[in-house]
Amino acid sequence: MNDLASGAEHSRIHIWFAALKPWPRRGVALLAGALATLGHAPFQLVLVYAAAIVALVWLLDAAATRERRISAAFGVGWWFGLGHFTTGLYWISSAFLVDSASFGPLWGVPATLALAGGLAIFWGVGCALAALVWTTDLRRIPAFALAIFVTEWLRGNILTGFPWLLPGYVWTPGEPVSQLAAIFGIYGLSLITLVIAATSAAIADRRASTGMRFAPLIAAGLVLGLTWGWGAQRIARAPIDAPGAQPIVRVADSGLSQRDKWCEYETYAERAACYPRQEARVLQRYLEISGAAEESNASILIWPEGAVPTLNFFQLNNQAFLDALGAGLGDRALVTGLTRCEPGPECDAFMRGEASVTNVRLYNSAAVIDGVSGVPRVAQTYDKHHLVPFGEYIPFWNLISGFNIAPLQRIGAGFTPGAPPTRLIVPEAPPAIVLICYEAIFPGMVPRGAERPGWIINVTNDAWFGDGSGPHQHFVMARYRAIEEGLPLVRAASGGFSGIIDAHGRVVRSVQSESEGAATEAQLPSALQETSYARLGIWLLLALVFVITLLRLAPAPSAVRDSNL
């Protein structure tokens, strides 16, 4: 038994955590990580998240007294991360059910556990870093927050990055605290969240005086109150758009599942027979949900990622397809997600069934299609820049192609990445940028300065992820991009949440996907002035890190206790 477990000057809480045997200790960390997931969408239980972080700090207090404290801290963090990411990302297993004939319905479980275990390493490393500079006083709070912040930033940026379930996302977007992302971005908000959540751990510091135990909690409450007040004032100053000041935008989802949307085929002949009928059926569903031009006030339609199962350049040379699309569009503009094949001999041969898909460059794209007097015309396209590993491409394909591993999209080696997002011209609206699906979880993809757009379009296909928490989480993250950039966001989601979001992250109109289809429309909210984050993001974040670092480097506080303890 270590000195903490036996010392009379330690609180019962610290003694209890220190006395835990290895597997019970891992179980407590695993449970705390699972409870932390309740802080995220669709639950947004911030107090539960804070309680989970406090439990992690107490586990690290115990780990810091062990002979091998670095490895002990890593283990605590890894088990916490495993519980957190397994419960937070369980919905990924649903993607394997879409094409169970190829992947098998049981592959989703080990794949999800493998991903959760890999991501948990970042929390393990973060806790190990914290243990290097751990203290027995309240200075361990900023040390913990900084260490986890560093590894969360790394998780969001290295190896293509996967910044899902960042601590800052526990604050509901559009509410006052979330507005802090307009200054520091989601990573800065995550650092502040970790500090605030961890402060309650100091209550159990029996060696400190009563004042020193509760001072961090009081300070955190003051910071939170000031942040709430500032955010509430920022929201209250939001401009009110006069009717007609901006175009009306309509988002539509067909309601078709991923399996129902695409043909299943074994040969090119089967594909050639199936797709013309399937494309026409899906297109007709979208046109019905979008409403006839005379039935809707919208001048711009937004359809989700991969809306119609087709390669656009070929269907847009199909007169029957064009006639149907033009009749539905009228004079409206359409922004839609689609799969694009670069025109050329290889693509022509592929469409004739004479070439393998592995020899063709395919893009996950979005297109602006003008509707003028019922005649559609492709104006501009954007090819997705940030692709999903294993979902849209296989990393190190040249090395592992011999294993016959295919991405979930089942398109050979996967999509080809395009250039970073640039402004697209949408008729009767400010210039826009399109973020396709996964791209909306990455801060900083919106062009700045003279290239800054007037709004963000997010087209996504969340039908891959079932009816669980995944679509809720994705919707929350997309709304934070609006707050960070001070730009309205219009989101069309297949199998998820579509809506029109203002520049403060608030929902103007939204609709959840239904089997019969869903649509909603509203006037496009106005953009705000470029936010502090958009202008100075990295510098403000570094300044915040510097301030938190000073808290860790400050002299140790007095450890004198009240006489009644």
CA distance 190 to 145: 9
CA distance 214 to 249: 51
Strand order in the sheet with 489-494: 432-436, 455-461, 489-494, 497-501, 507-512
Q: Are 307 and 283 in contact (CB under 8 A)?
A: no
How crowded is the C-beta side of 328, counted as CA atoms within 13 Å? 18
Backbone angles phi, psi at 420, to 5 degrees: -55, 155
pLDDT above 70: residue 265 = no
Provide the residue ranges of all domains of the chain, joining segments of one domain with +.
Answer: 3-237+538-553, 248-523
Q: Are 21 and 2 in contact (CB under 8 A)?
A: no
Average pLDDT over residues 427-432: 94
CA distance 258 to 263: 10
Least confident of 89-93, 371-375, 503-507: 371-375
pLDDT above 80: residue 279 = no
- Looking at per-residue pLDDT, the higher value among 74 and 410 belongs to 74
Q: Are 77 and 124 in contact (CB under 8 A)?
A: yes
How crowded is the C-beta side of 415, counted as CA atoms within 13 Å? 23
Least confident of 56-70, 138-152, 390-404, 467-481: 390-404
CA distance 350 to 268: 9
User: For position 105, what pLDDT does the model report?
Assistant: 56
CA distance 483 to 503: 6
Q: Are 202 and 139 in contact (CB under 8 A)?
A: no
Least confident of 109-113, 318-322, 408-412, 482-486: 408-412
pLDDT above 50: residue 548 = yes
Q: List the structure tokens of 259.
A: 């399996």
CA distance 504 to 486: 7
Residue type, 299: S
CA angle 142, 145, 147 (to 5 degrees): 105
Nearest to 358 by CA among 397, 312, 316, 308: 397
Beta 362-372 vs 375-383: how paired, if at all? Answer: antiparallel
Q: List the structure tokens of 449.
A: 């300065």
DSSP classification of residue 168: G
Q: Are 132 and 150 in contact (CB under 8 A)?
A: no
User: For position 207, what pLDDT does the model report?
Assistant: 77
Highest mean pLDDT among 11-20, 50-59, 300-309: 50-59
Q: Binning pLDDT at 50, 70 and 90, where does residue 559 land?
A: low
Q: Binning pLDDT at 50, 70 and 90, where does residue 560 land?
A: very low
CA distance 178 to 180: 5
CA distance 44 to 454: 30
CA distance 371 to 381: 15
Q: Where are the beta strands (DSSP E) in 303-426?
A: 333-341, 362-372, 375-383
Average pLDDT over residues 389-397: 65
CA distance 149 to 192: 9
User: For position 465, what pLDDT does the model report?
Assistant: 82
Could you give the C-alpha distances from 226 to 7, 78, 168, in angstroms and in order?
A: 39, 34, 17
- Looking at per-residue pLDDT, the higher value among 466 and 4 belongs to 466
pLDDT above 80: residue 353 = no
pLDDT above 60: residue 164 = yes
Q: Work out the widest C-alpha separation in the chain, in whole angstroms.
A: 89
Per DSSP, the residues of 203-242 read GG-TTS-HHHHHHHHHHHHHHHHHHHHHHHHHHHT---PP
Mean pLDDT for the chain? 87
Report the percent of the chain where pLDDT is more than 90.
60
pLDDT digits (tens, 9 = 90+) for 455-464: 999 999 998 7
User: For position 300, what pLDDT does the model report?
Assistant: 96
User: For position 1, what pLDDT does the model report?
Assistant: 42
Per DSSP, the residues of 4-39 read HHH-TTS-HHHHHHHT--HHHHHHHHHHHHHHHGGG
Q: List the structure tokens of 540.
A: 């403000």
Q: Are 296 and 290 in contact (CB under 8 A)?
A: yes
Instruction: Report, in this order, helix, strand and coil percent for the chain, each rounded to 5.
Output: 50, 15, 35
Report the CATH number of the 248-523 domain.
Answer: 3.60.110.10
**pTM recorded for the entire structure:** 0.91
- Looking at per-residue pLDDT, the higher value among 201 and 6 belongs to 201
Active site residues: 305, 384, 437
- Looking at per-residue pLDDT, the higher value among 105 and 286 belongs to 286
Q: Binning pLDDT at 50, 70 and 90, where does residue 94 land?
A: confident
User: For position 270, what pLDDT does the model report?
Assistant: 60
CA distance 205 to 207: 6
pLDDT above 60: residue 99 = no
Highest mean pLDDT among 189-198, 258-267, 331-340, 365-374: 189-198
Nearest to 492 by CA among 130, 175, 159, 249: 249
CA distance 27 to 418: 44
Give the position of tokens 């074994």.
266
